[in-house]
Amino acid sequence: MDTNTLVWLASGGTLAGIVSVITALVCGMHYGAALRRIPAAAFLEDIVARVATRREELERLDAQLGERHNGLQGLRGETEMLTARRDALAAQLRELQEDLVALDGRRADIASVRDELAEARTQLAMLVSELTERRTQQEQLERAAERARAQLSLLEERRSEIEAIDTAEREARIRLTEAQTELGTVVQAREAARREAEAAARDREMLATNIDRLTDERNELRADIASLQAERNPLSTEVQGLRRHLEQLHLQQQALDGDLQRLQSLQPVLEDKISGLQQEVVTRTAELKDLQAERDPLSTEVQGLRRHLEQLHLQRQTLDGDLQRLQSLQPVLEDKISGLQQEVVTRTAELKDLQAERDPLAADIDGLRRQLEPLRTQCDEVEAELARRRAELAAIEQEIRTKGGGSVGNPEDVLADLEQAPACLVGDGGRGPLMPNPQRDDDETAMLGRVRTHLDRLRLHFPERTLYAFHTALKTATISPLTVLAGISGTGKSQLPRRYAEAMGIHFLKLPVQPRWDSPQDMLGFYNYLEKRYKATEFARALVHFDTYNWPLARPFKDRLLLILLDELNLARVEYYFSEFLSQLEGRPAPGDRDPEHIRSSEIVLDTGGVGGPPPRIYPGHNLLFVGTMNEDESTQTLSDKVLDRANLLRFPRPEKLAGETLASGGEPAEGFLPASRWHAWRRSFGTLPATLREPVERWIHDLNEHLDGLHRPFAHRVNQAMLAYIANYPGVAEPMAQTSPLDQARIAFADQLEQRILPKLRGIDLGDSGVTQHLDRIRALIDNELHDATLARAFQRAAQDDGSGRPFVWKGVRRESI
């Protein structure tokens, strides 16, 4: 409050005092005339005396006020002079600070040159060390190659031995085959001999039978000789022939008996030879197995050594190439080091010149600082005197107000603007609420179908997965109170929440964020000390009409929902105007908890200047849904991790095909409002899901957090609980849908949380670090093997791929092609 305002208030108080005195005199005159107990002359003298006394008091007060006004004018002039002098000194100080900053900049350049030189020397030392190490490795590889050659020669000897063993094995097999053949021949001969012996035995039996028969015939013949002597001459020839035939048969029988004895004598020899051959076959077979068992590992070892030798040759070629490259780089590095050394000499000379220039400047700065100290003391004294004068003026105002002047405003009118119903809640010119009747009892799936139909009729086409993600993010507002829609301008970020609210039967309030916002007052309004009234915003009015705990006027809207859109919320720094409010939303008790202490800890206190009793309070309940849109360009601010931890971030990519049709009119908005009790009944907790769903989801989250811990970006209980709530409330997880399983829907929900919560927090990770790449690969394996989301895996691979330019991890979202 400046001096002119104080003088004006004082003058106004004086005039008010005069008016009050005249009023009192007139009232006194009427009062005296009514009593008629005091004589007129005495009464007039008394009035004249009082008027004179009051006039003297007023003149004295006017004189005092004039003196104080003159004193304040003088102090004001002195203050202006001191302010001008302080501004001049501040300007000089800024110039000196700029000079110092310039000097610091030159010093920083020299330091950077030194750092570059040191880095170059370090690199040279590293290259020399690497060259030495490579030479050592080359020598080691050469020794290893020699050892490999020695081993190879040994292996050649072993191979010769193996070939000799193979030859011996082949010869043994040939001998075995010959023995088997000979054995077969012997067996066949033995069988033939046996058959011949049997035939000889049969022939012998036949001969014996013939002999007996012939003997009988001889006897008969002898008996008949006498009778046939007459016929002997013709038969003698036949008898001689028979005798010769009998002798031949005897000779044959003797020969057969000799053959049989010879075969019988040969049978044990043949059996021994067969047994020996069989034993030799068994021995040679065992030796063959041993040789085969010994040959297999030797062959494997030979192949391994050959591969190792080939690798050693390749490594030697690589090392030779590296050595040549390092040798070719050495002159370049030496030239660079020489140039850097020359530049260091030049910069050192410049630094000495700058230091010579800095010393007198530092002395001047110290002198100015010494001159500034008494000026600061004088400013403090002036400010103290001004505060004392203000206190005196306030006392005078209070004295004038006590004597009948001024008004501080009617307490009943202070909150009149705040209690007005916002346009988003009332229709028909403010005479009744919008959507006066509740909707019929439709389930969640039917309501989502209504939203889809409404969007299609308006020619707004969003992927079903985006619609489900937006719906689920709003359902989990108890733990993630903010849903952020990010992307370039014109992708439908503002249309989706508006049309969703229309189709669902939810009240909608759009709150455009301004770049100048820097406090919660920009959202809630402020108390105007001149008008003695609270100047409310539509947002504050809506909060009041949805707070049934503190405001009776909110009872007609008790079972309704309100969707609040913070349009382009990152035009201003979100932490400045919304962070405190976001903390209050996060600290709200659970739906249904009406404990006054719990509710009071999450209430917002409005500043009304101490007028009208205790300051009003607002409780932002769970019937409020907050959505923010965010354009990603050079004119906006990024979101901090504090906001990201408490939000679901949905990205709207650049459209693949640009639409030629504009937004259609019509649609199918809801005729009645969606009861908040039904909305809360749609929410589900993760613990109600079956174990067949809970166990894989908990394993996914645990594995993901392990990989994020390796990247130094782990999450804690809040994010874990938010992810579980999102998965439990995603359509098709708790209540199965047609053509899809609950586990598949849980995979989609978990992939959404990766995209919305986890991957945006990986920004800035160095992709050149091998340890980082290892953990990023594991996250990608989780997406591929567990979630089966090829689109997300490709987008993650693009963000995590090191192209050699030194760029960090940057997440740009996922393009979902299906509608």
Look-up of token digits 């002047």:
405
Asked whether 256 and 210 are in contact (CB, 8 A), the reply is no
Q: What is the mean pLDDT of residues 134-147?
A: 68
Whether 492 has a pLDDT exceeding 60, the answer reads yes
- In 3D space, the residue among 481, 475, 399 whose CA is nearest the CA of residue 444 turns out to be 475
Q: What are the pLDDT digits (tens) for 709-759? A: 999 999 999 899 999 999 999 999 988 877 789 999 999 999 999 999 999
In CATH terms, is domain 418-672 a member of 3.40.50.720?
Answer: no
Asked whether 650 and 483 are in contact (CB, 8 A), the reply is yes
- In 3D space, the residue among 183, 180, 160 whose CA is nearest the CA of residue 285 turns out to be 180
Whether 405 has a pLDDT exceeding 50, the answer reads no
User: Whole-angstrom Cα distance, residue 464 to residue 458?
Assistant: 16
User: Whole-angstrom Cα distance, residue 643 to residue 633?
Assistant: 19
**Burial zone of 477 (CB within 10 Å; 0-12 exposed, 13-18 middle, 19+ buried):** buried
Q: How far is CA 283 from CA 164, 292, 421, 742, in A?
A: 18, 14, 109, 68
Q: What stretch of H or E contains 651?
A: strand 647-652
Q: What are the pLDDT digits (tens) for 296-327? A: 676 676 677 777 777 777 777 777 776 777 67
Of 525 and 327, the structure prediction assigns the larger pLDDT to 525
pLDDT at residue number 7:
39
Of 744 and 189, the structure prediction assigns the larger pLDDT to 744
- The torsion angles phi and psi of 45, rounded to 5 degrees, stand at -60, -40
Encode burial over 646-672: b for 16+ CB neighbours within 10 A, e otherwise: bbbbbbbeeeeeeeeeeeeeebeebee
Percent of the chain surpassing pLDDT 90:
24
**Burial zone of 60 (CB within 10 Å; 0-12 exposed, 13-18 middle, 19+ buried):** exposed
User: Whole-angstrom Cα distance, residue 247 to residue 20?
Assistant: 190
pLDDT classification of 793: cutoffs 50, 70, 90? very high
pLDDT at residue number 199:
72
User: Whole-angstrom Cα distance, residue 22 to residue 54?
Assistant: 10
pLDDT at residue number 24:
45
Report pTM: 0.53
Of 110 and 540, the structure prediction assigns the larger pLDDT to 540
Amino acid letter, 207: L
Asked whether 618 and 540 are in contact (CB, 8 A), the reply is yes
Dihedral through CA 767, CA 769, CA 770, CA 774, nearest 10?
-50
Measured from the Cβ of residue 45, the count of other Cβ atoms closer than 10 Å reads 11
Identify the top-confidence range among 365-369, 481-485, 517-521: 481-485
pLDDT classification of 156: cutoffs 50, 70, 90? low
pLDDT at residue number 82:
67
Whether 32 has a pLDDT exceeding 50, the answer reads no
Whether 586 has a pLDDT exceeding 50, the answer reads yes
pLDDT at residue number 810:
85
Q: Among 171-185, 459-473, 780-794, which is the least confidently predicted range? A: 171-185
Share the mean pLDDT of the chain: 76
- The torsion angles phi and psi of 426, rounded to 5 degrees, stand at -120, 150
Residues paired with residue 482 on neighbouring β-strands, in sequence order: 626, 647
pLDDT classification of 623: cutoffs 50, 70, 90? very high
Q: Among 48-62, 98-112, 625-639, 641-655, which is the least confidently predicted range? A: 98-112
Look-up of token digits 């101490």:
610
pLDDT at residue number 782:
93
What stretch(es) of the chain map to CATH 3.40.50.300? 418-672
Q: Output the six-digit token pair for 50.
A: 């009082």
Asked whether 507 and 434 are in contact (CB, 8 A), the reply is yes
Asked whether 460 and 604 are in contact (CB, 8 A), the reply is no
Handedness of CA 24, 26, 29, 30 (dihedral sign): negative
**Burial zone of 309 (CB within 10 Å; 0-12 exposed, 13-18 middle, 19+ buried):** middle
User: Whole-angstrom Cα distance, residue 227 to residue 232?
Assistant: 9
pLDDT at residue number 691:
93
Q: What are the pLDDT digits (tens) for 658-699? A: 554 555 566 678 889 999 999 999 999 999 999 999 999 999
pLDDT at residue number 39:
46
Whether 33 has a pLDDT exceeding 50, the answer reads no
pLDDT at residue number 607:
85
Q: Can you tell me whether residue 422 is helix, strand or coil?
A: coil
pLDDT at residue number 510:
95
Of 511 and 305, the structure prediction assigns the larger pLDDT to 511
pLDDT at residue number 106:
60
**Burial zone of 783 (CB within 10 Å; 0-12 exposed, 13-18 middle, 19+ buried):** buried
pLDDT at residue number 221:
62
Measured from the Cβ of residue 164, the count of other Cβ atoms closer than 10 Å reads 10
